[in-house]
Structure 1
Amino acid sequence: MNKLLLTLGVTALSPLALAKPVIVTSIKPVSMVVAAITGDRADIEQIVSNSASPHDFALRPSDLRKIANADTVVWVGESLERFLEKPLENAGKEASSIEWLALNGMKLHNFAENHDDHESHDDHEGHDHDKHHDDHDDHDHDKHHDDHDDHEGHDHDKHHDDHDDHEDHDHDDEHHEGHEGHDHSGVDPHVWLSPDNAKILAQVVTKRLSEIDGQNAVYYQANLAKFEQGLTAKDAQIRAALNKVNTVPYIVFHDGYSYFERHYGLQHAGEITVSPERKPGAKKVAELRHEIEEHKVQCVFSEPQFSPAIVKALLEGSNVNTAPLDPLGGKIKLDSNAYYRFLDSLSDQFLSCLG
């Protein structure tokens, strides 16, 4: 009898004993870095679907449940995903979340007023993340789009002064004190396009997982070492390949690739739109056609998250190449090698159109 009760007790407790940590992520690139560390020891639940864009997204009730049940929420930050800021606060998850933009050691870029400064991107300047960018007051990420009360995205219509402001952070803490103190206005939030920044996130995710799932800490730390070693090799491989096309002019769909471009020495000649959810007007299209001719642009990139009709209209009657450039890696299979394949896919997309 006692033996039977003991067996039943163990069986009843087993699901709890075997429960995996649940890591909720905002977008696919975040999931890729997290997956490199979790392996099969933690579950990842992503909020923004692979076919959607974080620039214009509204949470569903199921997403709110994911946040409430998460052991940790990993997101890029409020300047990209303002739709997460209030729900994290309401669920009491804000302090325990990992906000990529706010992590110690990140190298961040500001949006530029124009792209004539691309030659001067070599300097890395120190940046205090707690300081407000007083000279960027005209860039208001708090504004909602008129037709989207629940869709909070980027307003990139107003650019910023200093595109060569690479920001490096050296602080004692993993995060800066309190999310309320982070002013990321003016900062380009597409940080996942930098392998260096991916390493920073991987290190913090490893530390957090080791804290909430101590019995697998050695496993997570081994995955981090493997990820860092593999990323160093992949980075060198991609750099060698892209060096062959780093003088070829091209136009991107929107100004969201500066981390990848600067890291690998690429240089776009312009962008179709600075705010991806807004179509460019006739004047902008005319300016772009002039730029294509003037700079002898060889490729205009579209994005799978947005209609290619704009690109088709822009290139009508020309012989300029076009190809999709996916900054979110929507079709990449999510596993421990996903981030490597994501970098490969971006590199291949550039090479196919510029080579």
Structure 2
Amino acid sequence: MNKLFFALGVTALSPLALAKPVIATSIKPVSMIVAAIAGDHADIQQIVASTASPHDFALRPSDIKKIHNADAVVWVGESLEHFLEKPLENAGKEDSSIEWMALKGVTLQDRSKKHEEHDDHDHDAHDDHDDHEGHDHDAHDDHDEHDEHDEHEGHDHDDHKGHDHDEHEEEGHEGHNHTGIDPHVWLLPQNAVVLAKAVTERMMWLDSANAAYYQGNFAKFEQGLKAKDAEIRKDLSAVGDVPYIVFHDGYRYFESHYGLNNAGAVTVSPERKPGAKKVAEIRHEIEENKVQCVFSEPQFSPAIVKVLIEGTNVKSGVLDPLGSAVKVDMNAYFTFLDSLKGQYLSCLR
């Protein structure tokens, strides 16, 4: 009897029994949302390094291993992270992964069209903005032009099988292609809540013993984000009329939501460097629109920004759309929004 009791005790304390769910995340903003819900109850394995950009990322063998070993994979979507499509399929986890852009209730913006007015969900927006039509999608069109990573396919998958959840229909991938859709969905607070809800449901499924913990974290996140959103809106209202130019066209969710005055972008896709004609056009826009600041990004060389503002009184600043310096913890997404707000204010005031 004692031997049986001892054996049962060892089983209960075995590494398998005590192991935390392993969640593979694509980029840092995704890790922030997962951490807000999972806390220290999950092992978060991020694929794209915090200092790298998903626009020109190439998977390594260690990244493929993270996908195979994960209990769940959380990513933004094919139009941003095309390099994940084949590995997810090869690992048998394409359908069970959580694809942010395909979640029911997520708001997407179409950057292929120009509009004089913002989408209905934004408040106090300025008529000066272009390209800010919001959409609430359950299914989406074909993705845009990030197809340079086809060669990075996953390897034969191991014995760790992906979970197939019929009950998670909102995480399906039958409509995950997005032509002209801006994939930077993490820059809209409401979208963060949509992902947080999906992560909460998945964590409850993977670790039902701690379901109340995950539900509580979601409630705290939702409440805290509402307060943070109002705070940022108030602080940025002071610079809403100040024109500026960004390095790449990736901030429209944040800008339209908070009513900022984007006068243009150096490039649509950061891996595509502007030619001499484009540089001349931007210089003209800077003068014509009385642009106060041109923003670069830490993930890319700021050389082009220096060229654009040379000989002018225009200031330069840095916007970090991935929060590379933010520590991933339960408050990371709030810290990220605060840091982005501060980056705008530091150059526009």
Q: Is the 8 A contact 1:238 1:344 kept in 2?
A: yes
Corresponding residue of 1:62: 62
Indicate the residue corresponding to 2:283 in structure 1: 289
1:107 aligns to 2:119 (yes or no): no
Residue identity over aligned pairs, in percent, reads: 66
Aligned equivalent of 2:36: 36
CA distance in 2, matches of 1:201, 1:83: 21
* Deviations, residues 75-108 of structure 1 (Å, cap 9, x unaligned): 0011110100111011011111000000011111
- Over 3 Å counting, the alpha-carbon distance change for 1:345 and 1:71 in structure 2 is same
- Alignment size in residue pairs: 323
Write the distance in 1 (CA, Å) between the matches of 2:86 and 2:191: 25
Q: Is the 8 A contact 2:144 2:181 kept in 1?
A: no
Q: Which residue of 2 aligns with 1:322?
A: 316
Residue 104 of structure 2 contacts residue 137 of structure 2 at CA under 8 Å; is this kept in 1? no
**1:184 Cα deviation after fit:** 1.1
RMSD of aligned Cα (Å): 2.1
The one-letter code sitting in structure 2 at the alignment partner of 1:279 is K
How far apart are the structure 2 equivalents of 1:338 and 1:128?
27
Structure 2: runs of 5+ lacking an equivalent: 122-133, 154-166
Residue aligning to 1:11: 10
- Residues 19 and 259 of structure 1, relative CA distance in 2, 3 Å threshold: same
Contact 1:209 1:217 (8 Å CA) reproduced: yes
1:207-237 deviations in Å (ceiling 9; x for gaps): 1100110000000000001111110111111
Is contact 1:57-1:151 (8 Å) kept?
no
**What code does the residue aligned with 1:130 have?**
A
CA distance in 1, matches of 2:261, 2:220: 31
Matched, 1:235 2:234: no
Letter in 2 for 1:90: N
Look up the SS of the partner of 1:40 in the other structure.
helix
Of 192, 202, 219, the residue aligned with 1:198 is 192
Look up the SS of the partner of 1:184 in the other structure. Answer: coil
TM-score, with length taken from structure 1: 0.86
1:141 counterpart = 2:138? no
Equivalent residue for 2:337, pick from 333, 343, 348: 343
Tell me if structure 1 keeps the 8 A contact 2:21–2:41.
yes
Q: 1:186 Cα deviation (Å)?
A: 1.2
In structure 2, relative to structure 1, the CA distance for the partners of 1:219 and 1:176 (3 Å cut) is closer
After superposition, residues 253-268 of structure 1 pair within 5 angstroms as 253-268=247-262
- Would the aligned equivalents of 2:22 and 2:72 in 1 still touch at CA under 8 Å? yes
Residue in structure 1 matched with residue 90 of structure 2 by the alignment: 90
What is the CA–CA distance in structure 1 between the aligned matches of 2:171 and 2:226, rounded to whole Å? Answer: 31
Structure 1 equivalent of residue 173 of structure 2: 179
Q: Distance in 1 between matches of 2:11 and 2:71?
A: 22
Structure 1 175/81 Cα, relative in aligned 2: closer, same or farther at 3 Å?
Answer: farther
Give the superposition deviation at 1:120.
Answer: 0.3
Partner residue in 2 for 1:74: 74
Match of 2:120 among 96, 118, 123: 123
Q: State the Cα distance separating 1:347 from its structure 2 match.
A: 0.2
Can you list the C-alpha shifts for 1:157-181, whole angstroms capped at 9, x where unaligned? xxxxxxxxxxxxxxxx864584243
Q: Distance in 2 between matches of 1:304 and 1:177?
A: 32
| Aligned residue number for residue 136 of structure 1 | none
Residue 7 of structure 1 deviates from its aligned partner by 3.0
**3-state SS in 2 of match to 1:243:** helix
1:285-338 Cα shifts (integer Å, max 9, x gaps): 111111111100000000000001111111111111111100000110110000
The reply to whether residue 22 of structure 1 matches residue 22 of structure 2 is yes
Aligned to 1:207: 201
Structure 2 match to 1:45: 45
SS at structure 1 position matched to 2:245: strand
| Distance in structure 2 (CA, Å) of the matches to 1:175 and 1:185 | 23
5+ long unaligned stretches in structure 1: 134-138, 153-172
Q: What residue number does 1:160 align with? A: none
Distance 1:243 1:59, change over 3 A: same
Residue aligned with 2:40, SS: coil
CA distance in 2, matches of 1:142, 1:350: 27
- In 2, distance between residues paired with 1:258 and 1:333? 24
Taking a change above 3 Å as real, the CA distance of residues 100 and 203 of structure 1, as seen in their structure-2 partners, is same
Q: 1: CA distance between counterparts of 2:192 and 2:103?
A: 11
